[in-house]
Copies of this chain bind each other. A is one copy, B any other.
Amino acid sequence: MGLTISDVANSAGVSTATVSRYLNQPHLVSPDRQERIAKTIAELNYVPNNMAKALTTNQTTTIGVIVPDINNVYYPPIVRGIEDYLTECGFVSFLCNTDQNLSREKRYITTLRSQQVAGMIFVGSRPSNPSLSDHLAELRRSLPVLMVNDDMLDGKVSSIGSQEAGGIYQAIKYLHSLGHRNIAFISSSVPLNTYIQKERGFCHAMEHLGLGPAGQWIFRDAKEYEAGGFSAMKKIMELSKAPSAVVAATDQMAVGAVHALLEHGYRMPRDYSVVGYSNSCISSTTYPGITTIDQHGYELGKQAAQMLVQIIHGAEDDLSAHYLDTKLVIRKSSGFCMTGE
């Protein structure tokens, strides 16, 4: 505890500079001293003080990871992907939960800046009002920043995400191929870019397939998650012209919808087909398993970390936006349309 580089230097009978070189550029140290220093370090159980190193070199190997809520099934795979890649590269990550609360986010940014983080990754869709993200564009001017699952600051902050609109399109096309024609979309009125994107994908798909106008089929609830899906589904069931299939903007909403259906005695996929989004763990643990659009969260996180590290190493053509393809995962909540028309 509290050993310093000069303790090691003294013990090994060399100068601090030599120890430091051994630690950072071993090839500059003669083999015999390398051995002596190595032995001393092991004996003393010396661990370099990274604070001092950071202070001299003016750079750290810490990254801030800002996430709405690690408790939301959506994020753990992404965070895990980020962490795994960063660890591989010798970085450590600070985890911060904002609950989508702007002032919490700003407070964290200040804290992370004072920690001299080498960069920050913002995970999750952002408010659709772009000015609520101005501070990120500003931040980007002095620090490597990357956004995951939101590209709305295009041209200002690099990002990576999944093809959300495309994923929903995929879902609709799949349902269409099963014979479904009346397809509802469960979204939320919470003003986040992700809902806008997915609704857009829904509208495009419906219109391309000649199932439009799509607007009438979009149901937005003020709540997100299960509760939102549940009450949106209740409204849908009351419609005189009921759809045979429902796509939800998130797996959680899909779960809520499924519960509403089960509660009414409906069965899937006989009476309704339900499709979610993200292939989070809950879509496979529910009964029936929910068909969903896999957004490859873990991979998303890994690539995000990779991009950030590239930016940090200055080896990037700067601003870019990458998109991962989504993949349809078929489970038991969806099937052929049984509504004879």
Task: Report if A262 contacts B (CB, 8 A).
Answer: yes
Contact assessment for B281 and A73 in the assembled complex, using a CB-CB cutoff below 8 Å: yes
Contact assessment for A92 and B115 in the assembled complex, using a CB-CB cutoff below 8 Å: yes
Stretch from A28-36, A49-57, A192-200 at the B interface: A49-57
For the complex formed, measure the closest distance between the CB of A199 and the CB atoms of chain B, giving whole angstroms. 24
Contact with B along A60-99 (1 / 0, CB 8 A): 1010010001110100110110011001000011111100
Task: Report if A287 contacts B (CB, 8 A).
Answer: yes
Task: Report if A114 contacts B (CB, 8 A).
Answer: yes
Q: Which of A97, A259, A281 has the most CB of B within 10 A?
A: A281
Contact assessment for B51 and A79 in the assembled complex, using a CB-CB cutoff below 8 Å: no
For the complex formed, measure the closest distance between the CB of A267 and the CB atoms of chain B, giving whole angstroms. 11
Contacting residues of chain A (228-276) with chain B, CB-CB under 8 angstroms: 255, 258-259, 262
Report if A94-B97 is in contact (Cβ < 8 Å); known contacts: A48-B114, A71-B77.
Answer: no
> Within the assembled complex, what's the spacing in Å between the Cα atoms of A285 and B55?
48
Contact assessment for B79 and A70 in the assembled complex, using a CB-CB cutoff below 8 Å: yes
Task: Report if A113 contacts B (CB, 8 A).
Answer: yes
Task: Report if A150 contacts B (CB, 8 A).
Answer: no
Contact assessment for A51 and B54 in the assembled complex, using a CB-CB cutoff below 8 Å: yes
Question: Residues of B contacting A116 with CB < 8 Å?
Answer: 49-51
- Copy number in this complex? 2
Contact assessment for B84 and A47 in the assembled complex, using a CB-CB cutoff below 8 Å: no
Task: Report if A216 contacts B (CB, 8 A).
Answer: no
Identity of the chain B residue whose Cβ is nearest the Cβ of A142 in the assembled complex: B1
Identity of the chain B residue whose Cβ is nearest the Cβ of A83 in the assembled complex: B97
> Within the assembled complex, what's the spacing in Å between the Cα atoms of A129 and B179?
58
> Within the assembled complex, what's the spacing in Å between the Cα atoms of A49 and B49?
16
> Within the assembled complex, what's the spacing in Å between the Cα atoms of A80 and B51?
26
Contact with B along A199-214 (1 / 0, CB 8 A): 0000000000000000
Task: Report if A286 contacts B (CB, 8 A).
Answer: yes
Task: Report if A103 contacts B (CB, 8 A).
Answer: no
> Within the assembled complex, what's the spacing in Å between the Cα atoms of A96 and B65?
12
Contact assessment for A114 and B49 in the assembled complex, using a CB-CB cutoff below 8 Å: yes
For the complex formed, measure the closest distance between the CB of A97 and the CB atoms of chain B, giving whole angstroms. 6
> A286: which of B48, B115, B142, B287 is its contact (CB, 8 Å)?
B287
Question: Residues of B contacting A287 with CB < 8 Å?
Answer: 258-259, 262, 286-288
> Within the assembled complex, what's the spacing in Å between the Cα atoms of A110 and B96?
22
For the complex formed, measure the closest distance between the CB of A10 and the CB atoms of chain B, giving whole angstroms. 20
**B-binding residues in A (CB < 8 A):** 1-2, 47-52, 54-55, 58, 60, 62, 65, 69-71, 73, 76-77, 79-80, 83-84, 87, 92-97, 110-116, 142-143, 226, 255, 258-259, 262, 281-282, 285-288, 298
Q: Known pairs A93-B94, A285-B285; list 17 more (Cβ under 8 Å).
A: A1-B143, A49-B116, A51-B51, A51-B54, A65-B95, A69-B80, A70-B70, A71-B76, A79-B95, A83-B97, A92-B96, A92-B112, A94-B94, A255-B285, A281-B282, A282-B285, A285-B286
